[in-house]
């Protein structure tokens, strides 16, 4: 008796049929709950829709969290900062326009940093105490045009010194007490120009107390101090130094006054000293590499704590985004939320106008 050879495809088709049946049976049972793991706690329930995620969100970012750093330059022409894509040095007139834009975007404050003409730089940073210097004129112009926005002014000598350091030098040594005397004079000059917040970023010992005493004695008791309390000797400052012109002048490094990146407990001691000396707010700089420090400072002291998302952090995110390697908007927001999660009350960030516009659009 002859037997017909089975089709070479028969077994394959039957296998697919059996697989389809098993697939349907599994999904049917999953929908009916037959395949349930019997879990009482299912964290995914709180993530299943946008409204639910909003209700349980632990940290939120708002325009109230933002301070916008601006670079000021003499003249009438803006200049691109090559190492900070999208950031420019701006003449005073444009700085005032950006302050208006900040107000319209509900950004509470701007922070000013000068690019000082190299011809005006000297070993002691004398231009820092000139009442008609670039920053002082910018402060007066902003406060005249946009009186309801906060103006934060940096107190340090590096944009003004011919050697690029934050203090007076004797050979290779940064002189602490002599530098503090100049920083006090600089702070008084800025307060007289109308600055709302004095932000000493130099990391000299005792400068907060000396500045607070001088301000109070001169009738500037309402001028706030935001101390760069834990400022690390970081590799992430390079683009900022390009923006203010100190990269080409800096002699050596700043490790004798800025903090060792390996230290954490030391940051708490520095913050404690600045608070004892009269700081109203404290800052950790840089930001993302030091989220642990932000968290420890906020948990320990419970005072207004700020983070600076520094130029190198900005340049990495923006540079990668412009090369198509990451989603720039999502990375920007995620990085800023990280500061809030760590405990920061506010963030100095070059992304401020961009993220503020996004937040305003979703209101």
| Residues taking part in catalysis | 231, 285
- Burial class of residue 160 (count of CB atoms within 10 Å of its CB; 0-12, 13-18, 19+): buried
Task: For residue 145, count other CB atoms closer than 10 A to its CB.
Answer: 15
The angle subtended at Cα 219 by Cα 218 and Cα 221, nearest 5°, is 115
**318, 91 in Cβ contact below 8 A?**
no
Task: For residue 346, count other CB atoms closer than 10 A to its CB.
Answer: 20
User: What is the distance between the alpha carbons of residues 277 and 158, in angstroms, rounded to a whole number?
Assistant: 23
Residues 6 or more apart in contact with residue 303 via CB below 8 angstroms: 275, 281, 282
**346, 150 in Cβ contact below 8 A?**
no
**282, 304 in Cβ contact below 8 A?**
yes
User: What is the distance between the alpha carbons of residues 234 and 237, in angstroms, rounded to a whole number?
Assistant: 6
**Is the peptide bond between 286 and the residue preceding it cis, with omega within 30 degrees of 0?**
yes
Q: Can you list the alpha helix ranges (DSSP code H) found in 204-286?
A: 207-217, 238-244, 265-276
User: What is the distance between the alpha carbons of residues 26 and 35, in angstroms, rounded to a whole number?
Assistant: 8
User: What is the distance between the alpha carbons of residues 109 and 306, in angstroms, rounded to a whole number?
Assistant: 13
Helices 92-104 and 134-145, axial angle in degrees (round to 10): 40
């Amino acid at each position: 008796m002859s037997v017909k050879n089975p089709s070479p495809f028969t077994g394959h088709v039957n296998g697919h049929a059996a697989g389809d049946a098993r697939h349907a049976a599994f999904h049917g049972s999953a929908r009916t709950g037959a395949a349930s793991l019997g879990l009482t706690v299912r964290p995914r329930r709180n993530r299943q829709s946008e409204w639910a995620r909003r209700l349980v969100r632990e940290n939120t970012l708002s325009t109230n969290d933002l301070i916008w750093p601006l670079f000021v330059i003499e003249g009438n022409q803006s200049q691109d900062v090559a190492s900070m894509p999208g950031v420019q040095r701006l003449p005073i007139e444009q700085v005032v326009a950006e302050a208006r834009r900040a107000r319209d975007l509900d950004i509470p404050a701007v922070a000013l940093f000068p690019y000082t003409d190299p011809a005006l730089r000297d070993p002691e940073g004398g231009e820092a105490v000139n009442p008609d210097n670039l920053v002082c004129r910018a402060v007066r112009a902003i406060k005249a045009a946009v009186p309801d926005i906060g103006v934060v002014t940096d107190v340090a000598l590096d944009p003004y010194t011919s050697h690029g350091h934050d203090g007076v030098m004797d050979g290779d040594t940064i002189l602490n007490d002599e530098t503090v005397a100049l920083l006090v004079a600089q702070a008084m000059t800025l307060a007289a120009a109308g600055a709302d917040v004095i932000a000493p970023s130099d990391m000299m010992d005792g400068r907060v107390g000396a500045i607070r005493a001088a301000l109070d004695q001169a009738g500037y008791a309402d001028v706030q101090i935001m101390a760069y309390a834990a400022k690390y000797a970081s590799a992430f400052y390079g683009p900022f130094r390009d923006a203010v012109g100190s990269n080409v002048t800096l002699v050596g490094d700043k490790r004798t006054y800025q903090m060792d990146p390996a230290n954490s407990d030391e940051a708490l001691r520095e913050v404690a000293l600045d608070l004892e000396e009269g700081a109203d707010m404290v800052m950790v700089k840089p930001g993302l590499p030091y989220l642990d420090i932000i968290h420890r400072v906020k948990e320990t002291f419970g005072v207004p704590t700020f983070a600076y998302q520094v130029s190198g952090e900005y340049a990495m995110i923006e540079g990668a985004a412009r090369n198509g390697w990451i989603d720039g908007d999502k990375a920007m927001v995620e990085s800023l939320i990280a500061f809030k999660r760590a405990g920061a009350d506010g963030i100095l960030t070059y992304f401020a106008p961009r993220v503020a516009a996004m937040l305003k659009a979703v209101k």
